[in-house]
């Protein structure tokens, strides 16, 4: 199963559901529809209405983050995994570089993953190196630390997806070479197998994915799908990524 996950970040109002509806209409007619899963992570403000609209349909809804506590607390503006699940989400991103740069620590991320899984949310765990890490050839060591600091064998690997998103690539139009990305994805999967056993959770790529470069990504069999940012705000661009992947 491949994954195409749209991360809207700070984008979207109620009528933006038309974008998802167009993607859903395409998916229903697509001959390859059984080969992949489509997930969108809109802002918290839209999760409930979108989840209701797409209930019993093939578009799944997730959140872009969750708080590091279980249900209710006195933390102003915090939204827990329990609350997210109750409004209809099925997935949550955890560890996105935006949130890491805003102060998410390993301890916080560990709690987020634990409580998300406890509340039956599937976790898309984000990892990635920055420009300085890449320049200093620390990509592999940084990714290893990000994985082994948070993920443990006791966690349900069937409910975990890892998204590799190099920070230097996000929104820049720059992407790793085919060889770089293949080696990095293999490295990630080796670490995940050491953590969880024989079979690795799915590993996605994110960072300036579009309808053109996805043709190169599809040649890397180790990649199990994509975390898509800017292009997911357009139904046509998102659909073109799926079309060109299977073309």
Tell me the pLDDT tens digit for each residue of 177-188: 999 999 999 999
Where does residue 224 rank: exposed (0-12), middle (13-18), buried (19+ CB within 10 A)? buried
Residues annotated as catalytic are 96, 165
Report the domain count for the chain: 1
Alpha-carbon dihedral 7, 13, 14, 17, rounded to 10 degrees: -40
**CB 84, CB 63: distance < 8 Å:** yes
Residues near 107 by beta carbon (within 8 Å), at least 6 away in sequence: none
Give just the sign of the alpha carbon dihedral 43, 28, 227, 119.
positive
C-alpha–C-alpha distance, residues 247 and 240, integer Å: 10
Q: Which region, left, alpha or beta, applies to residue 12 given φ > 0 means left and ψ of -120 to 50 means alpha? A: left
Tell me the pLDDT tens digit for each residue of 186-226: 999 999 999 999 899 999 999 999 999 999 999 999 999 99
Tell me the pLDDT tens digit for each residue of 114-166: 999 999 999 999 999 999 999 999 999 999 999 999 999 999 999 999 999 99
pTM (whole model) above 0.95: yes
Q: How many other C-beta atoms lie within 10 A of the C-beta of residue 5?
A: 24
**CB 30, CB 80: distance < 8 Å:** no
What angle do helix axes 17-29 and 44-53 make, rounded to 10 degrees?
A: 40
Q: What is the mean pLDDT of the chain?
A: 97
**CB 163, CB 124: distance < 8 Å:** yes
CATH number at residue 89: 3.20.20.70
For residue 125, which of 193, 201, 199 has the smallest C-alpha distance? 201
Could you report how far apart the first and last alpha carbons of the chain are, in Å?
A: 17
**CA-CA distances (angstroms) from residue 167 to 23, 56, 119, 209, 210?**
27, 35, 29, 13, 17
Q: Containing domain of residue 87, as a range?
A: 2-246
């Amino acid at each position: 199963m491949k994954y195409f996950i749209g991360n809207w970040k700070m984008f979207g109002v109620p009528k933006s559901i038309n974008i998802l509806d167009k993607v859903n209409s395409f998916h229903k007619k697509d001959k390859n529809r059984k080969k992949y899963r489509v997930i969108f992570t809109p802002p918290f403000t839209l999760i409930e209405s979108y989840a209701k609209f797409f209930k019993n349909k093939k578009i799944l809804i997730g959140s872009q983050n969750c708080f590091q506590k279980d249900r209710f607390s006195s933390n102003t503006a915090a939204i827990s995994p329990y609350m997210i699940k109750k409004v209809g989400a099925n997935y949550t991103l955890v560890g996105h570089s935006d949130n890491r740069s805003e102060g998410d620590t390993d301890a916080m991320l560990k709690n987020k993953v634990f409580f998300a899984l406890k509340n039956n949310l599937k976790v898309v765990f984000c990892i990635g190196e920055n420009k300085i890490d890449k320049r200093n050839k620390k990509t592999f060591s940084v990714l290893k630390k990000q994985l082994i600091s948070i993920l443990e064998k006791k966690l349900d690997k069937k409910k975990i997806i890892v998204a590799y998103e190099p920070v230097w690539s996000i929104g820049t139009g720059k992407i790793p070479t085919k060889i770089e990305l293949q080696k990095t994805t293999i490295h990630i999967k080796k670490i995940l197998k050491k953590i969880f056993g024989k079979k690795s959770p799915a590993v996605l790529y994110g960072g300036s994915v579009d309808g053109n470069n996805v043709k190169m990504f599809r040649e890397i069999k180790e990649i199990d799908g994509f975390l898509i940012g800017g292009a997911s705000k357009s139904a046509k661009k998102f659909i073109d990524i799926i079309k060109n992947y299977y073309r």
